[in-house]
Amino acid sequence: MTDAKTNIDETVKSNDVVLFMKGTKDMPQCGFSSRVAGVLNYMGVAFKDVNVLADADIRQGIKDYSDWPTIPQLYVKGEFVGGCDIITEMTLSGELDTLFETSGVAYDKDAAEKIREANG
Residues of the binding site for [2Fe-2S] cluster: 30
Give the list of residues 6+ apart from residue 101 with CB closer than 8 angstroms, or none: none
To which H or E segment does residue 93 belong? helix 84-93
CA 98 to chain centre: 15
Q: Give the distance between the most distant pair of CA atoms in the chain.
A: 44
Binding site: residue ranges?
30
Of residues 3, 101, 56, 66, the one with CA closest to residue 112: 101
